[in-house]
Amino acid sequence: MVGQRIKTIRRQRGLSQAQLAHPELSDSYVSLIESGKRTPTPAVLELLAQKLDCSLTYLVNGVTAEQMEELDLGLRFARMALENGEFLEARRRYRELMDDKSLVGLASLRQDVQFGYARSLEACAELDEAIEMLDSLLESDTEAQTPSRRVAIAVALCRCYRERGDFQEGVDVGERILGETARQHWNDDLVELGATLLSVYFWRGDLLRARQFATELLSAAETLASPRSTVAACWNAAVTAEHLGFGEEAMSLIERALAVQSETGGPRNLARLRGAYAKLLLQVRPSEAELARDITLRAMSELKESSAGLGDIIHCSLYLARCELALGDLNAALGYAQQAVDLVGENNRSLHSEAHLMLGQIYFMQRRDQECTTELSVAGESLKHLSATRKVAESWHHAAETMSQLGDHDASVDAYQRALSCVGL
C-alpha cells in the first residue's frame, strides 16, 4: 500500500523513478519499494515525503494531514461526550468515526475509536453489542495493542459479562488475560483486572476462591503502594469480606479505598465507590440507614454528573430503595424501585430481574398483590435466562418466599426448586 501510494504521487508529479531517487537513493531501490518488495525505513519515508511534497502521514497511512485533524477532533468530541455522561451523543459520534473509511490504515486510532464505541454501548446498557465489540477487539489486532490497552479491553469485557450475568465467561476472560503475565509482574492495570475478576468470583458464588484471591490482590496492592491498585483491591476485597461475615473488616477496607479515591481518583469511580460504601454501611450497620441514604443520594448526584453508565445509576436507585425500606418509607422506596425498572433494559437480565423483584417485594408490603404477582413473574422470566449462581439462587429464594406469602403454592415450589438447583441441590 505504501509503495502504491508513492508510485501514484510520483506519477502525479510527473517524476521518473530515477528523478525521485537522485541523488540519495538508487532508482532500483525506489522500484523495489513501489512494487512492495522492500519496506522503506522511517528515514527513507520522510525523505520521499519531502521530495513528493506530501505529508508523511499520507504516505504511511493514506490519510492526509487535514483528514487526520478531522479524525482527532472527532475523537476528542466523542471522548468529551462520554466523560460528560452524554452517552447517546457519545455513541453517535463514535459510530460516525467507525464508519469513516480513513481509519482503515490507522490501527492505533481505529482501536481508540472501537474501544470508545464499546464503552459508550456499555454506558447505554447495550451489553450484547458492547460484548461483541470488546470480544472482537480482544481477539483481533493484537499486534497493534499495547499491554495496557489489552488489559483495559479485558476489564471492560469482564465487567460487561458480569453485568449481563454471564459469570463463567467473565472468569474465563479475566483468568486468561491475567495468565498471559506472570503474577510477580503485578501493575496497576493488572490489579484493576484482578479486582474485576474478584467481583465475578463473588457473584458466581465462588466465595473460597474470592477470599483467597482478595488476599493476593491486597498483597499486590500493598507492594505497589499506588492509589489505583489500593482502591481497586480494597474496594472489591471489602465486598467479599462483608458477605463472608467480616463486616467491620469490610468497612475498614472500603473506608481506606474511599479515602484514597477522594484524594486522587476521578469523579465516576468516586461516585460508584461512595454508593458501594453506603450499601455496605446499611448492611453492616443498619442503625445508620439514614446516613446510608444521604450518602447514596450524594453518590447518585455525582453519578449523573460523571461518565457513569446507566447500569451504575440503576444500581444506585436500587440502593436508595433499600435505604428507604430500612427507614420504613414504602412510598419513597417504591419511587426509586420504579425508577430502576423504567431505566433497565431486558438485555441486562441480571439487573432487570433484580429491579423487578425489588418492585414486586415493595408492592407486596403495600398489599398490592396483583402488581406484586406481575413483577415477580417478569423477574422470574429474566432469572430463567441466567446461569446458575449463588446470586441467582438468592433471587429465586426471595421470589419463592414472597409467592408463598401470596398464597401461590405452585409458583412458590417451582421458585424454591430453581433456587436449590442453582446451588446443586
The pLDDT > 90 percentage for the chain reads 58
| Contact assessment for residue 91 and residue 121, using Cβ atoms and an 8 Å cutoff | yes
C-alpha distances in Å from residue 223, one per residue of 132, 180, 185, 192, 307:
35, 21, 11, 15, 30
Helix (H, G, I), strand (E, B) or coil at 287: helix
Rounded Cα distance between 274 and 114, Å, is: 30
| Contact assessment for residue 164 and residue 179, using Cβ atoms and an 8 Å cutoff | no
pLDDT of residue 425: 67
Please write the tens of the pLDDT for every residue from 273-285: 999 999 999 999 9
Using a 10 angstrom Cβ sphere, with 0-12 exposed, 13-18 middle and 19 or more buried, the burial of residue 102 is: middle
Helices (H), 99-225: 107-123, 127-139, 147-164, 167-179, 188-204, 207-224
Q: CB count, 10 Å around CB of 183?
A: 11
Q: CB count, 10 Å around CB of 346?
A: 11
Rounded Cα distance between 261 and 255, Å, is: 10
pLDDT of residue 213: 95
Return the minimum-mean-pLDDT range out of 37-46, 53-62, 73-82, 167-176: 53-62
pLDDT of residue 203: 84
The pLDDT-based confidence of 254 (bands split at 50, 70, 90) is very high
Q: How confident is the model over 242-270, as a mean pLDDT?
A: 92
| Contact assessment for residue 401 and residue 420, using Cβ atoms and an 8 Å cutoff | no
Q: How confident is the model over 24-51, as a mean pLDDT?
A: 86
For residue 423, pLDDT over 80 is answered with no
User: DSSP characters for 224-277?
Assistant: H--HHHHHHHHHHHHHHHHHTT-HHHHHHHHHHHHHHHHHHS-HHHHHHHHHHH
Please write the tens of the pLDDT for every residue from 57-101: 777 766 777 778 888 899 999 999 988 878 889 999 999 999 888
pLDDT of residue 253: 97
Q: Which residue has the higher pLDDT, 106 or 202?
A: 202
Q: How confident is the model over 299-308, as a mean pLDDT?
A: 85
For residue 184, pLDDT over 60 is answered with no
Q: How confident is the model over 297-326, as a mean pLDDT?
A: 90
Q: List, in order of start, the domains of the chain with CATH numbers.
A: 2-62 (1.10.260.40)
Cell of 182: 506472570
Return the minimum-mean-pLDDT range out of 35-39, 94-98, 133-137, 219-223: 35-39
Return the minimum-mean-pLDDT range out of 139-143, 166-170, 195-199, 229-233: 139-143
Return the minimum-mean-pLDDT range out of 29-38, 67-76, 149-158, 177-186: 177-186
Return the minimum-mean-pLDDT range out of 60-64, 239-243, 309-313: 60-64
Please write the tens of the pLDDT for every residue from 318-345: 999 999 999 999 999 999 999 999 998 7
Cell of 99: 464508519
Q: Which residue has the higher pLDDT, 68 or 242?
A: 242
What is the sign of the dihedral through the CA atoms of 65, 68, 70 and 73?
negative
pLDDT, the chain, mean: 89
C-alpha distances in Å from residue 234, one per residue of 183, 191, 208, 230, 284:
18, 11, 17, 6, 17
Does this model's pTM top 0.85? My answer is no
Using a 10 angstrom Cβ sphere, with 0-12 exposed, 13-18 middle and 19 or more buried, the burial of residue 184 is: exposed
Please write the tens of the pLDDT for every residue from 108-164: 888 999 999 999 999 887 889 999 999 999 988 666 688 899 999 999 999 999 888
Cell of 52: 513528493
Rounded Cα distance between 385 and 305, Å, is: 33
| Contact assessment for residue 358 and residue 317, using Cβ atoms and an 8 Å cutoff | no
Q: How many residues does the chain have?
A: 425
Q: Which residue has the higher pLDDT, 175 or 207?
A: 175
Rg of the chain in Å (alpha carbons): 27
Rounded Cα distance between 51 and 388, Å, is: 66
The pLDDT-based confidence of 182 (bands split at 50, 70, 90) is low
pLDDT of residue 377: 94
The pLDDT-based confidence of 262 (bands split at 50, 70, 90) is very high
Residue located via cell numbers 469511580: 269
Q: What is the DSSP letter of 180?
A: T
Q: How confident is the model over 395-400, as a mean pLDDT?
A: 93
Nearest residue to 142 via CA among 109, 107, 172: 107
pLDDT of residue 195: 95
